[in-house]
A and B are shown apart, each in its own frame.
Chain A
Amino acid sequence: MKVSFEVNGEGHVLDVPPLRRLLDILREDLGLTGTKEGCGEGECGACAVLMDDALVDACLVPAVQLAGRRIVTIEGLGSRERPDPVQQAFLEEGAAQCGFCIPGMVMASRALLNRCPQPSREEIRTGLAGNLCRCTGYERIIRAVQRAASLPAESGQPASVETVPASRTVTASVDGIPAYAPDDLREALEILQTQGERITIIAGATDLLTDVKLGNRRPAAVMDITRLACLRGIALTEQGLEIGATTEFAQVARDARVRRHAPALADAAATVGAAAIQNRATLGGNLMTASPAADAPPVLMALGATVTLTSAKGTREVPVDSFFVGYRRCACRPEELLSRVSIPLPPAGDRQCFYKVGTRLAQSISKVCVACRAQVDAGGVLSGVRVAAGSVAPTPVALPEVARYLEGRRVQGSDAPEVMAAAGNIAAREIAPIDDVRSSAAYRSAVTRSLVVRFLQEIARS
């Protein structure tokens, strides 16, 4: 397919297969080898570039989504004569060793400083958490970013050329598969209605391209849904929060309305991968992959959310509790799109939590995650209890028995420890964890129990 886009201020029109990765386009088609491949699955950040000013991993951006985009790579940042302040600071602090992670690291630092010109040490650590470095121990890199923040900001970035047309392509190239990138919902639904079975929908592509790389999926035709404006964005209505399916986690995490009414969801969103993943991964995609380890589903279950599934024939609403029907299987039919997630407004004084125990502190898949919510009255009596967990069964699971047990019980007073322990034990019985590459069944079960107790202790304490 033909796509036109801009790289470092220069327009390009290329004829490439729709799933060709931006990384290969940069390195092989355009000869821009500064962007590196370290893993090919969005884990290491060596291929991080800016796309429309947002940090993304080029290994997870398919060509079909490039039309009209502005890409900035390390080559577009600064020159020896006029280095970007980030580059200058990396040089002066001795932040590079083998250098392989450095282009991505520099781009991540630039993205961070653009968003947050005077970051704290913690903000720097968070901003760079999706960029692995095996040489430096990060200390000098963090210092370099601190130094860059203190250097006079010189706009080393090329001025954008506003001429690249956003092309809507509905053609297949010779060696590619059919690709659609509709900007009209009706058109998208029509395509699904007629050939839903063979269409693979693409939102942030973070799961999809990983699956393709692993050989788990070979799409016959693809449809990019990120150009459907009506699927994106967050709204607060009288009923509650409405979050469009293609809203990225970065936006969910930062949104003030989400932070206020669904803080557990904002917390979960902020733990998904790291910056570059959060800029791409969508809430809808997280649900659709139906991975038992996904972080959003347990929170949405705890918050009593529903999803809206839309097809040319109409819409239907499904509670998230019953959305997952098996290992990596959900209730969405081939002719349907997941269009939005609705979260009812919580009552005043709602207490929510999202606890994630991952393989490490960022860029981390959950070994266990637990989401809870409840209201507590002045006497410490619980109501509206909901509990759900991830990575402890073949699908994300609601834990209705714990919730039922806790409803109406007191978490303060002398029998509170007993109540809490009982709740933990019920939770541990309700799940079906396994041993796998990331953790053990014994650990998952023990931690689920403790996290349920922790939630109760925390709400009891305040």
Chain B
Amino acid sequence: MNRAAGGLIGTSPVRLDGWEKISGEARYVDDLSIPGMWVGGTVRSPVASGKIVALRRDPSFDFSRVVVVTARELPGPNVVAMIREDHPVLAADRVRFVAEPIALVAAPDKPTLAAALTAIEVDIQPDEPVLTIEDALAGKGPVWGDDNILAEYGIASGDLEAGFAEADLIVEGTYRTGHQEHLYLETNGMIAVPRGDGGVEVIGSLQCPYYVLNALTRALSLPPEKVIVRQVATGGAFGGKEDFPSVLAAHAATLALRARHPVKIVYERTEDIRATTKRHPSRVSVRTGVKRDGTLVAADIDVVLDGGAYTTLSPVVLSRAILHAGGPYRIPNVAIRGRAVATHTAPNGAFRGFGAPQTLFAIERHMDRIASRVGVDPVTVRRRNLLTTGDQLPCGQILHEPVAAGLVLDRALALSDYKGKRGKRSPSANARTLSGIGLSVYYHGGGFTGGGEERIRGKASVRFSREGRIEILVSNVEMGQGATTVLCMIAAQALGLPLEMVTHPYPDTSQVPDTGPTVASRTTMIVGKIVVDACDALAAKLRAHLAREHGAEERAIRFADGSWWAADRQLGSFRECGLRYLDAAGPLVGDATYRHPEGLRWDEENFRGDAYKSYSWGADVVEVEVDRDTLEIRPLRATVVVEIGRAINPVLAVGQVEGGTLQALGWGYLEEIKMDAGRYLNDRVTTYIIPTTLDAPAMQVELAEFPYERGPFGAKGLGELPMDGGAPALAAAIEDATQIFAAGIPITPERLLRLRIEEGGS
């Protein structure tokens, strides 16, 4: 196979799902209608914590027109299977967060559903909710288990005590980040269709078809062959459709089986914000021992994540959080402790970055703090400590692959003219605004943490169809990030075919193997590689067949210039040969399974070893303007340099970086969830504030490439990386402008005012 043939990698063909999205033809779940379809809705808890006393039905409503399901009428165990089995399909005796589902209703139409939902009244005896990390750590409640600890891990290396003894000074700080709502433009939605055999098919907006499948087989007590999960066009996810769709699918399927009708549930925005997962709020305390010149000699870091009421994915979010807590720095003596605690809020879950943005925010702010304590500038303090190739991470991993931390920092500084702009707060005394510039450096481990890939052992297939196309059969989804285009480019390149010949159908679990979920920046790097192997397997089958067909040796069969050849004899185009194979030998499918890269080791018990297969690197420089009087913040420009191995499709890659960067900035200064007794107050798009075009800075993105041998055509992970650096760089820029050090986000004008008053300013 001639890999160079297509020359596709590194070019930017128009995305394959482009037209259907730009024309409005793409069908998202709420655009689908199935004959006889009913609508479903949810009766939810009005309080954060309490005992369910009764569920009353208003006798004036005719309940025979609808189907109602409570915890007592579930078809299987009351469990949405995720990492643990603590998450009920419906609350049975107690509620643990505002908007927790208590009963489900399906009705033939929306007005009937609305009437039925108001005719059900829940009587709950409320008690005092536990809503802060501090109360949870104090064991109040308890919300979960007997101590509220959902997970606890630690990593350490070196000798902490000796490290601190060596230090010239100790710098300490505590950093906090808040809830972040995904605000994917399309809310969560699912359709469940009952099948003749007692099984069910669900169709929805989701990232992980097999997570949903597993949850359904458990909750419905159905064998896997009676459950089909299909993804359709998904209007943004960012992690918000990783764990939650399992809950929604269990609801829709339960109703569909009961009602014997297809049932659609699409959340209204407010319901979506109240009931679904958010980014974990965090509190990270950092204590560092530092030499007079800013060199780190010791760090003791304590990470606490607020997991909400149930486990969901908190343990894995926590492990990624602590594995990134040291930042891209060499710390010879280090201990990192992480705990995820339970509170009476909606369970928090996956969100782009998965714990890393929280701890990277803390360490980056802390580096700025060290810089000002030792009296050097933020660039110098970073350069003194940046990781380089061959260094060791706190988990013991030796970085054999090239470390690009220094490179991305240099490029970002140069592109942005950081040095020329830093510390020039104000152009004139009369200016209404102050300007500032700040930076951050960060890294992100690609693929699952630790042994995750080995456990999942993703499988992929590619199939040659009668239409003469190559279909990529994987369980990974297109959700906006460009997976369809990138996977098709990878397969086209692997087979030496034009891109038009390759398709990536919406995954359907009855058709595709389990390649694992669409998460952890793994789709290009890990799944892409399995797809390459599957393409090789398919080509090998075809080659063997052609050899047999022509009585030639396999070695003599080759594919070049769009045709198969036996020595100098042209055997036909790929399509012609493929069709001959189908006629003669049946389905032409290449299968492959994840192969563990040699030499990488992970010890789960002790959290030591090669935590990630590869790391991607980034540096951000953010420039802001802050209004002197109102403290309004306006990010003007963001310069982002990332090293991602190889960009399969640079335009898509840059799009990921730009979008992730804006999400990170929004988290840094606009996006906030305020609570009243556990109820989210910012539960509408008019109160949960994400950036508009006018809030977005101009962006300049540069891609740096150190091809990664074990990734497909050199690619590493990218999707989450751009979420990591925006917030701390913004905070540093705000500090440059206002001289106010903010240790928590979002840095709203209200927070800045409070800090200014606390610091004794005017």
Contact = CB atoms under 8 A, between A and B. Distances in A.
Question: Are both chains from one complex?
Answer: yes
A262 B658 CA distance: 40
Nearest to A46: B185
A38 B480 CA distance: 16
Contacts of B185: 36, 38, 44, 46, 98, 100-101, 132-135
A125 interface: yes
Contacts of B24: 33-35, 73-75, 102-103
A132 B235 CA distance: 13
Nearest to B26: A99
Give the size category of A's interface with B: 35 or more
A437 interface: yes
A357 interface: yes
A125 B22 contact: no
A189 interface: no
B629 A33 contact: no
Contacts of A83: 19, 22-23
Interface stretch (B27-35, B94-102, B163-171, B415-423): B27-35
A27 B33 CA distance: 11
Contacts of A125: 693-694, 696
A255 interface: no
> Which of A368, A438, A440, A442 has most chain B Cβ within 10 Å?
A438
Nearest to B24: A34
Interface residues of B, number: 74
Interface stretch (B385-393, B563-571, B748-756): B748-756
B684 A39 contact: yes
A142 interface: yes
B60 to A, nearest CB: 18
B21 interface: yes
Contacts of A80: 19, 23
B662 A87 contact: no
A274 interface: yes
A137 B696 contact: yes
Nearest to A439: B750
Interface string B334-356: 00000000000000000000000
Nearest to A453: B629
A274 B685 CA distance: 14
A65 B430 CA distance: 49
Contacts of A135: 185, 236, 480, 655, 659
A439 B748 CA distance: 9
B269 A40 contact: yes
B428 to A, nearest CB: 12
Nearest to B762: A446
Interface string B1-36: 000000000001011011111111111101100000
A454 B699 contact: no
A158 to B, nearest CB: 15
B445 interface: no
B186 interface: yes
Interface in A340-363: 357, 359-363
B46 to A, nearest CB: 15
B530 interface: no
Nearest to B432: A454
Interface string A351-386: 000000101111111001000000000000000000
Contact of B630 (A38, A77, A79, A450): A450
A368 B662 CA distance: 25
A100 B235 contact: yes
B632 A357 contact: yes
Contacts of B71: none
Nearest to A33: B31
A90 B233 CA distance: 18
A405 interface: no
B352 to A, nearest CB: 11
Given A129-B694, A442-B754, A44 B681 contact: no
A176 interface: no
B629 A447 contact: yes
Interface in A69-85: 73-75, 77-80, 83
B696 A139 contact: yes
Contacts of B17: 96, 99
A71 B139 CA distance: 59
B184 interface: yes
B354 to A, nearest CB: 17
24 contacts: A36-B186, A38-B186, A39-B685, A40-B268, A41-B686, A44-B685, A75-B23, A83-B19, A96-B15, A97-B482, A99-B20, A99-B480, A100-B235, A128-B693, A129-B693, A132-B692, A134-B182, A134-B184, A136-B658, A137-B658, A142-B693, A362-B695, A440-B750, A443-B750
Given A27-B31, A99-B26, A129-B693, 12 more contacts: A33-B27, A36-B235, A92-B14, A94-B12, A98-B234, A99-B22, A131-B692, A131-B693, A134-B238, A137-B655, A360-B692, A450-B630
Interface of A: 27, 33-41, 43-44, 46, 73-75, 77-80, 83, 87, 90-103, 106, 124-126, 128-142, 274, 357, 359-365, 368, 437-440, 442-443, 446-447, 450-451, 453-454, 461
Give 5 closest A-B pairs by Cβ, nearest first: A34-B24, A98-B480, A99-B21, A100-B235, A137-B658
